Amino acid sequence: MSRGETPLVRDVPDEEDYTYVHRVFLQSFFTHGVLTIDEIKPVLAAIMTAHNPDRPFPEGDVTQSGFITPIIQTINAKLEPYDFEIRHARNQQTKETTYALVNKTSDSMTQLATRFTANEIAYIRRLLDAMFETNNTPTREIMAIKPMDASQLARPRRNRQSQAASMVDEDVQLQAADTGITIGEADAVLDALLADNFLQLSRSKYYSLAPRALMELHSYLKETYNETAEDEDDEPMIRIRDCEGCREIVTFGIRCNNRECGVRWHDRCANQYYSGRSAEGKKCPKCRTVCGGNVYVGERADRVPQRNSSGGGASRDEQMDEDEDEDE
């Protein structure tokens, strides 16, 4: 805590000083849970201006690295003993940076259990299974679901077997008690998850996990849907992989044109890696296959025929030329 002096006004607050600005900014996270960088800019500008009305603080001065990051570092130092942290991640689809207040000791699944009934939680598990098992096969890594299919999961399929080995026992127990919910109840759960920034709905109408859910659930997802090798002959099923560039989880992006290869990228990370190379020079860093950037992870994998994944320039250009930075 600062020593009761007036907080800094025009300058970036000193990292040691926890001021009015940090306090009010943290409160906006308690209210909203999740804020995109475009939502943060007016909030911080307003806080700075409220503190010193004679000198309005322009939104343009709220830059990510120069302004927001140091403020969040100071807040995180304060939150440390409470096991909370403000984290940020880039939305893989919109490329927008999203900040979320996350609990470091309990993931979203645990927290959802305090807000939904047991049958609703069982529904949310079926939703995740549909996204990460049914709609996520070696040839079609969609990791998303259409709203109508999501509603249809309201009733459990009685003898359905979860392929996730670690969950078999637990699933059997849950299924015994799980009588399902109505489609109306399923839609209400979906709406609540959307409002909570746990799910997002894309322009082409697919539900996928929003940045907040990915920030909180990445270990849960890997533990649940990735297998570990039991013996040497066993090729474990890896359903969820990290980006070759930034090492964050990929649920929307591109994959190596060699189907056997585990390399995955976010569009932007692939762009950065391959920028300036000729088409033949765009070789996978692991298997050296020439990659067209036209084999997708995420909802685009549901639309594109994936029989022959080599070649193809047009779709790559469409996907691989957006590269903007928000720190300007």
List interacting residues with Zn ion (CB under 5 A): 243, 245-246, 256, 258, 261, 263, 266, 269, 284, 286-287, 289
Closest CA to 212 of 68, 57, 108: 108
Report in angstroms how near the CB of residue 293 gets to Zn ion at its nearest.
Answer: 12
213 or 263, CB closer to Zn ion? Answer: 263
| Nearest-approach distance from CB 269 to Zn ion, in angstroms | 3
For the bound state, the minimum distance from the C-beta of residue 203 to Zn ion, rounded and expressed in Å, comes to 21
Residue that the structure tokens 């993931």 belong to: 107
Cβ-based nearer residue to Zn ion, 86 or 263: 263
Q: Which of 212, 266 has the CB closer to Zn ion?
A: 266
The least CB distance from residue 289 to Zn ion, in Å, is 5
Distances, alpha carbon 181 to alpha carbons 150, 159, 176, in Å: 12, 17, 14
The least CB distance from residue 252 to Zn ion, in Å, is 10
Residue 90 — φ and ψ, nearest 5°?
Answer: -90, 130
Between 127 and 243, whose beta carbon lies closer to Zn ion?
243
Query: CB 299 → Zn ion: shortest distance, Å?
Result: 17
- Report the C-alpha gap between 8 and 6 in whole angstroms: 7
Minimum CB–partner distance for residue 181 and Zn ion (Å):
36
- 186 versus 263: smaller Cβ distance to Zn ion: 263
Looking at the Cβ atoms of 44 and 263, the one nearer to Zn ion is 263
Nearer to Zn ion, 209 or 263 (CB): 263
